[in-house]
């Protein structure tokens, strides 16, 4: 598991919330956020969407990881957007099943993202 902590191996750079980060333009950027459905995670989602990020992909353990039921995901997303006030940004937010306690689920989440996108600009985890 050590490799996941050594993000520098992938040429990734750790960003702190400072002037450098605040000045970054997020149009055309794609971000993956784990835990983006509640608490500090959804506030990060809100901030990045308001900063015009092109797309955010997040996951939820409340979705059945073994099902590919698009209706379940759409219903969950609809409820989340309604109660969080993020409905205006619905086109830029993708929610997938993710249980961080299951390596199978993490791999499936990563595989789905790899099929959707050729690159990820930011990982918030």
What is the closest distance, in whole angstroms, from the C-beta atom of residue 14 to ligand NAP in the complex? 16
Q: 44, 45, 48, 60: which one contacts ligand NAP (CB under 6 A)?
A: 60
CB 36 within 8 A of CB 123: no
Chain-centroid distance of CA 56 in Å reads 5
Binding mask 70-109 for ligand NAP (x = CB under 6 A): ----------------------------xxxx--------
Task: Establish if 16 lies at the interface with ligand NAP (CB under 6 A).
Answer: no
Q: 35, 45, 56, 89: which one contacts ligand NAP (CB under 6 A)?
A: 35
Query: What tokens appear for 57 in the block?
Result: 């992909």
Task: Establish if 39 lies at the interface with ligand NAP (CB under 6 A).
Answer: yes
> Which positions touch ligand NAP (CB under 6 A)?
34-41, 59-62, 98-101
């Amino acid at each position: 598991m050590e490799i996941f902590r050594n993000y520098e191996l992938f040429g990734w750079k750790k960003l702190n919330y400072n002037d450098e980060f605040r000045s970054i333009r997020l149009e055309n950027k794609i971000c993956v956020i784990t835990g983006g459905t509640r608490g500090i995670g959804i506030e990060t989602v809100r901030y990045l969407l308001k900063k015009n990020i092109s797309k955010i992909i997040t996951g939820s353990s409340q979705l059945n990881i073994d099902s590919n039921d698009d209706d379940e995901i759409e219903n969950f997303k609809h409820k989340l957007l309604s109660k969080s006030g993020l409905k205006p940004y619905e086109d830029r937010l993708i929610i997938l099943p993710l249980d961080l306690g299951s390596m199978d689920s993490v791999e499936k989440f990563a595989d789905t993202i790899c099929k959707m996108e050729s690159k990820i600009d930011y990982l918030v985890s």
